[in-house]
Amino acid sequence: MRGDRAPRVVGERRWVNVSFGALAWVVGLIFFFPVFWMVLNSFKTEQDANTSPKLFFHPTLDRYKDVTKSAGGLLSFGEAFTNSAVIVLVSVTIVMLLAIPAAYALAIRPVPKWRDVLFFFISTKFLPIVAAILPIWILGRNLDLLNTRLGLIILYVGINLPLAVWMLRSFFQEIPRELVEAAEIDGAGLRGQLTSVILPIAAPGIAATALLCVIFAWNEFFYAVQLNPVHGSTVPIWVTTNVSTRGDFLAKLSAASVLACIPVVLAGWIAQKRMIRGLAMGAIK
């Protein structure tokens, strides 16, 4: 927090900066309100949650107990969490390991038909997922990948790779060409250029890309429920088991959702630290 204190900008009247800071706070709070309301609901009884907005109520942790209490055979939060963690971490790591060299080959040392390659990558996202599920489910069944973590890992690599390649390529475009050439003259191969020049400069971009991949993979529900309803079920499936078509469920759902997004909030917070400009400046000087 202290690092954020506003440096005095010459000639800028104090209140200008303070007002922008205040505006940012106001916007942040308004935008955050629905999430805050959800968190608030997670501490209410179903009765309090399903009636007109109540700010003052006696909080209870029962909803968290209901949600995490589980018996054998039922998908528990722990099991869903480990499944999701393994699937997301492995798939995003593979995506980044594939996307970084690919982006290098599309931005810094572009391959001959790099436009068509980029177009191909994005075109893979045009088929509506609701239709893609038919062949994917049948392939999964025939390859015996239904209800396995590996199945979803492979699928999430396919889902996130185009996003990662496109974003990284845009951030790699920003890298001053002469810095890469300088590293190359020093004898740095692909890995050398990556570690010494590209990663430091593009760090904000890489962090943003990795974060978005984690978010998409962590929150993916449709493929997960269709392919892994029994084993290898992920956190989103666990969250929706708390929805009920007969009876109130809002408070329970809020509690489940709060637990579900804690890891992603952490990922977001960690990624932000990488997104501070400092790094980029270091490399250019």
| Residue list 196-235, contact with other proteins (CB under 8 A) | 196, 199-200, 203-205, 207-208, 211-212, 215, 219, 221-222, 225-226, 229-233
The answer to whether 149 and 86 are in contact (CB under 8 A) is yes
* 155-184: contacts with other proteins (CB under 8 A): 155, 157-158, 161-163, 165-167, 170-171, 173-174
Which spans in the chain are helix H? 14-41, 46-49, 62-68, 77-103, 114-123, 129-142, 149-173, 177-185, 190-193, 199-219, 222-227, 235-240, 250-274, 278-284
Q: Which residues contact 102 (CB under 8 A, 6 or more apart)?
A: 165, 168
**Residue 59 or residue 88: which is nearer to other proteins going by CB?**
88
Report the residue from 67, 80, 102, 213 that binds other proteins according to the rule CB under 8 A: 102
* 67-96: contacts with other proteins (CB under 8 A): 71-75, 79, 82-83, 86, 89-90, 93-94, 96
Q: Is 14 in the site for other proteins (CB under 8 A)?
A: no
Window 112-141: contact mask with other proteins (x via CB under 8 A): x-xx-xxxxxxxxxxxxxxxxxxxxxxx-x
Residues 99, 105, 109: CA angle, nearest 5 degrees: 145
Q: Is 249 in the site for other proteins (CB under 8 A)?
A: yes
Binding-site size, other proteins (CB under 8 A): 164
The amino acid that residue 155 corresponds to is L
**Residue 68 or residue 226: which is nearer to other proteins going by CB?**
226
Q: Return d(Cα 208, Cα 162) in angstroms, integer.
A: 15
